[in-house]
Amino acid sequence: MARVASNPVGLHRFRPCFQVAQLPQHARTSLHFRNEHRRFPTVSCQQTPDPTETSTTEKSIVEPGSGNDSSSQATSSSRDSGPPKFPNKNTNKQVALVSTLAALALFLSGRLDFGVSLKDLSVAALPYEEALSNGKPTVVEFYADWCEVCKELAPDVYKVEQQYKGRVNFVLLNVDNTKWEQELDEFGVEGIPHFAFLDKKGNEEGNVVGRLPEKYLLENVDALARGEASIPHARVVGQFSSAEARKVHQVADPRSHG
């Protein structure tokens, strides 16, 4: 039996199944680029990497990261700066102290400007008889301790009184005091507070009744102080308390003008 010899031709026919076909130049360049790109992880895993390739690899690693230097520095600086600092106990104490002093100053200023009571005004007021005899113009206020409008206007009256102190007399007559029954009828007091404005001779030039802006009182008093023949607000009526609600009582002290 004849031995079957190997047929190189047959093998040649079978070889194209495993042989890579020749590629064009641009395709080979692309394939070479892909192989070089894939070589990056392979080189990093070699136990004895080539010095040239290692330096190239390291350079390729460092260069892309160079663009993030500023961000890394910002991150490190933010870490160094740490979280935002909150006020410590000393700062809180200082803030509390300043707030307390401000509140105290506000309270004191409020007491000076708005803490004046009717009692304070009545104590500082001149007796009615003395006011009529000292040759100065006079403002007579008819009031009552229970009159809410009188209480509200007390600070305004005090301001005007202090401004014209020594030039204009300020008298307060309590409508609850039976001593002033004649004056109530003389000035026609029906509502309080009732402000009567008298010239130097004791003649009434006009009156203002009830809750009104401070300027009404101020302008009338200013006209009296300057000796004007008339006052700008001679007959003005605002919200008032009725004098019919007065609580009549007799005051023992004859000098009392309350």
Strand partners, 198: 138, 204
Which strands sit side by side in the sheet containing 235-237, from one edge to the other?
A: 169-174, 138-143, 194-198, 204-209, 235-237
Q: What are phi and psi of 231, to 5 degrees?
A: -105, 150
Nearest residue to 122 via CA among 163, 151, 93, 90? 151
Contacts of 183 (CB under 8 A, 6+ apart): 128, 140, 142, 173, 189
45 annotated active-site: no
Cα separation, 93 vs 149, in Å, equals 42
Cα 209 to chain center, whole Å? 37
From start to end of the chain, where are the E strands? Answer: 138-143, 169-174, 191-192, 194-198, 204-209, 235-237, 241-242
Q: Catalytic pick from 132, 150, 212, 224? A: 150
17 annotated active-site: no
Cα separation, 245 vs 247, in Å, equals 7
Residue in the structure block whose two tokens are 């933010």: 78
Q: Catalytic pick from 118, 131, 132, 147? A: 147
Question: Active-site residue numbers?
Answer: 147, 150
